[in-house]
Structure 1
């Protein structure tokens, strides 16, 4: 492990006000206690707010957090690629957040690494995405987070339209299609709805509470056992 990576790991272990002994850090990082003492001293001298002493332990107090010191090249690739995918395939709000995230990622990188973001030739294009579907992704994400019961008209695979009252639970992305995992009150069961087949969507003004047998955890259990219906 490079020394810079080791210093970063020490900061991660000390976040959140946890008291950690030098011997424990040495074991986790597979170095000597002497190396840990030297690293701690270097971090303290550079302004990292680490408290403690040898034989007692070290901690970084709550509220004294730091941005990441660095990213490896693979981490930069993963972050940039993920942000570009969301920018292309996510909701409108997600796309704006992904753009802001790329700016923040670039801001915390050392100048020696910063230029590499422009050299990552991973791009995503989504001509199938429409502004309506993008807005719907954001709306469904908020509805699931806030546990909002919704009314909708849905066009199934047989081109039959039905009116549903649903409890949004989560979103799945299948490469080109977003689906909503929900509890359907019409079918009294879990259903997965393609967002591009939703015709009309209305907020009922009501929220729902998690009920045994109707949560996202229960849905995953159903998927493992037999798989729920999807119409």
Structure 2
């Protein structure tokens, strides 16, 4: 899934801060997985916001020494909410999401005033590890990507009575409960919405075929269903 522009602008600043040599647009584009033209537009946007980036196309760009991002200002309760939220993500048994949560904590900690940094990193708040089973038959990162790209999935599933079936589904959402993660989907076999516990999915393949873009009506219909 493509990085949001705001995140990309932040990453450009971070990349330029980390080097003492000019970085070309091509090098920045390779790091960010975007085109050189996109980098040029982003650099222009940052310069328009008075970020002191010097350089030119074909030569490279460098961040003038002494520039720093303004410190983020949060209340203590907001810092506690970030700390608890990141720790709760660790319960999901999703390695990529857990790594992303740790990365978010690191980025926020760097941008916080020093007096508040310890409050985030060592907040006196405990979140248990939980008892969710690890999903062995499905790549959760691939499933989230399939949702974003509206790609169908082929799954082998075992229900609570260990009755097995193979289905082609249209994945529309991930539902995170305290100790269970569900893949919400439209099931072609049942012709209805179904929820699949990710720890009961024995195998999963993301297909090339996409399901139709209905402007969000399917998601809205799923959200309107009763939830346990």
Give the Cα–Cα distance (whole angstroms) in 2 for the partners of residues 108 and 90 of structure 1.
28
> Contact 2:157/2:164 (CA < 8 Å) preserved in 1?
yes
Give the Cα–Cα distance (whole angstroms) in 1 for the partners of residues 74 and 102 of structure 2.
18
Residues 1:207 and 2:210 are matched in the alignment: yes
- Which residue number in structure 2 is paired with residue 132 of structure 1? 136
Secondary structure of the corresponding residue to residue 122 of structure 1: coil
Find 2:201's aligned residue among 181, 198, 202. Answer: 198
Find 1:142's aligned residue among 137, 140, 145. Answer: 145
Find 1:180's aligned residue among 171, 180, 183. Answer: 183
Using a 3 Å threshold, how does the CA distance of structure 1 residues 212 and 71 change in structure 2: closer, same or farther? closer
- Which residue number in structure 2 is paired with residue 59 of structure 1? none
Residues 1:109 and 2:115 are matched in the alignment: no
1:131 Cα deviation (Å)? 6.3
Q: TM-score, with normalisation over the residues of structure 1?
A: 0.63
Q: TM-score, with normalisation over the residues of structure 2?
A: 0.64
Find 1:169's aligned residue among 168, 172, 197. Answer: 172
Give the Cα–Cα distance (whole angstroms) in 2 for the partners of residues 212 and 161 of structure 1.
33
Find 2:83's aligned residue among 70, 76, 80. Answer: 80
Residues 1:122 and 2:126 are matched in the alignment: yes
Q: Which runs of 5+ in 1 are unaligned?
A: 1-61
1:112 Cα deviation (Å)? 1.4
Q: Which runs of 5+ in 2 are unaligned?
A: 1-44, 52-68
Give the Cα–Cα distance (whole angstroms) in 1 for the partners of residues 175 and 135 of structure 2.
18
> Contact 2:157/2:202 (CA < 8 Å) preserved in 1?
yes
Structure in which a larger fraction of residues adopt helix: 1
> Contact 2:89/2:98 (CA < 8 Å) preserved in 1?
yes
1:158 Cα deviation (Å)? 2.5
Counting matched residue pairs gives: 164
After TM superposition, where is structure 1 displaced by more than 4 Å over at least 4 residues in a row? Answer: 65-68
- Which residue number in structure 2 is paired with residue 44 of structure 1? none
